Amino acid sequence: MVVIRAWCPQSYIAKLRALGVQIEMIEHPLARADALSQLANSDLAMLPGHSTPTMAFIEAMSRSVPVIANDVWANSEYLIDGKTGFLIPPARRVQYFDSDLTPLWYRPDFTHSLIASVDSDYLKRHLRVLEYLLEDENLLLSLKEETGRYFARSPFEISSRNRELGLLLDKALNQFVT
């Protein structure tokens, strides 16, 4: 099952469903418990947002769910293209930052530019990745296994993160004490 928590053209959804793909569309925000329940029952998370939803990536990967996301901001610091999901080049006509490199997220002009610049090539890049995964069920299973293996030894796994934070704290305290 592919769960998409975003807007997606109905024509693409209809084509995929006609090919036998089970897709669930969620176009409204989810409570944390509902999002975690969806992830626990999903094979793939598609997060085509225009920012970096850090915890959504971590929650998905912690459940061995690969993620398809835009290759913007820090997304490549969380996802490994082809191993824990896929990073899709963003729409070319969307300006993500101003001349001083200040992010334009959630500003009215940015949101308007997303609405005004439907990019069919961008949408087709997402569709090609989905088609690639659907052509071979073993590919998706392999991607799920790799995602789980990666997460277990990643800096995002809670034990690893706490160990690293402890080492940093020890180092800071040792410099302060000596």
Q: How many domains does the chain have?
A: 1
Q: Cα(first)–Cα(last) distance of the chain, in Å?
A: 56
More confident residue, 6 or 26: 26
Residue 124 has what pLDDT? 93
The predicted pLDDT at position 151 comes to: 93
Question: What is the per-residue pLDDT for 59?
Answer: 93
How many CA atoms within 13 Å lie on the side-chain side of 8?
24
- Model confidence at 110, pLDDT cuts 50, 70, 90, reads confident
In 20-164, beta strands by DSSP E: 23-25, 44-47, 67-70, 85-88
Domain that holds residue 73: 2-177
Residue 149 banded pLDDT, cuts 50, 70, 90: very high
Q: Calculate the average pLDDT of the chain.
A: 88
CATH of residue 131's domain is 3.40.50
Give the model's pLDDT for residue 61: 95
